[in-house]
Structure 1
């Protein structure tokens, strides 16, 4: 277990995800190294999958919808994303969640911000991961692909600005080699104006 050091460009908050309940904890990250099967599945999704898969529902509803459109060779990606969805569901305690799997090839959410949600769960399968920083610091921390990030949002009970963590999507438009990020975002079911049904 290591605490993030605000003076280092690459840093981690490695601790049990349940520690997000602590009043002084705003981010938890888990290191993961994707195997060849996962990397290949993510590449195939980028090549043949939909640009955006966005649903609200129970894990069973999400699994059914996801399995119905899987490109060949992407089963490992779907299974991992659903495992993460089950994990987020246990952490959040909500019977339904908002599940977003998106291909991103442009600069998105370039400003550092705090989401208007209780908890946000992120995993970038391809391309650079989420960037984050403490509200009172200019040091930007970068997250490797495959790692899991859990962020406390403004709607989390007892949230305050003291010690808050801001995050953003990494700018990619200026990279010399074009990159497509494949990002999984898991949220409370009403995040970002989702309707009461499970379809986007």
Structure 2
């Protein structure tokens, strides 16, 4: 798995007006205190796909391309009905994955458009991280895959929801990392959330790159997130892409 840091040239600057920064009251801190405070990571959002390259900025933990699905949502919603147990997990290049999805996905209006969109995301992810192959997972979900807040032990992952509720995530300033996962001791889905913290949520259509704990400069501070609730009545169509 290679993270091509030379691609940082693709995004030399970040528009600070689009960065959703963690709360830190710097006006009430003296310089000595600031020097001892770990720099908190921000989240950058934009309606332009170029925002994904900002994941190479050291002060960014997540980059979100905010987009409207349009006709893609029609096929996604139909898939929830026609293939309520659809599970696809594979790896390959965009051409291979396109052919496999075209064969496996049920026929319906806008199917070709949907497959082309998934292929586009595979191409973008592979280009951004200089990958020959990408790991792809596309699932219809009626339960939460990962209901507890956690961090992925990987460099970076792309996630997007085509139908249903989007992934939930926390700002670094809203996290108590010692209480994540098994550190929470009890099966509390909110373990790790600061008592004054806020749960954020991606929207259907959003394409997010989330740094994990193995990103070279994240220093064990990958994005804390979880799957939203889902049920037989409220399914999700979820896509994730991983480095191979």
Partner of 1:40: 74
1:178 deviates by 2.1
Partner-residue secondary structure (3-state), 2:123: helix
Query: What TM-score does the superposition give when structure 1 sets the normalisation length?
Result: 0.82
Alignment of 1:1-200 (within 5 A): 1-4=17-20, 6=22, 13-15=44-46, 16-35=51-70, 37-49=71-83, 51-73=86-108, 74-137=111-174, 138-161=197-220, 164-173=222-231, 178-189=233-244
d(CA) in 2 for partners of 1:178, 1:92: 37
Q: Verify the 8 A CA contact 1:42 1:125 in the aligned structure 2.
A: yes
- State how many pairs are aligned: 181
Gapped runs of 5+ residues in structure 2? 1-16, 24-42, 175-196
Q: Is the 8 A contact 2:167 2:226 kept in 1?
A: yes
Q: CA RMSD in A?
A: 2.1
What is the alpha-carbon distance in structure 2 between the residues aligned to residue 75 and residue 180 of structure 1?
22
Please identify the structure whose Cα radius of gyration is greater: 2
Deviation of 1:159 after TM superposition, in Å, equals: 2.0
For 2:26, the equivalent position in structure 1 comes to none
- In 1, the alpha carbon distance for the partners of 2:207 and 2:242 equals 14
TM-score normalized by the length of structure 2: 0.68
Equivalent-residue separation in structure 2 for 1:25 and 1:135 (angstroms): 11
Give structure 1 stretches of 5+ with no counterpart.
190-200
Identify the residue that residue 188 of structure 2 maps to in structure 1. none
State the distance in 2 between where 1:40 and 1:84 align.
18
The whole-number CA distance in structure 2 between the counterparts of 1:69 and 1:101 is 11
Higher-RCO chain (CA-CA 8 Å, sequence separation at least 6): 1
Give the SS at the match of 1:27.
strand
Residue 78 of structure 1 deviates from its aligned partner by 1.1
Q: CA deviation at 1:47?
A: 2.1
Asked whether the equivalents of residues 134 and 166 of structure 1 are also in contact (C-alpha less than 8 Å), the reply is yes
Give, in whole Å, the separation in 1 of the partners of 2:112 and 2:79.
10
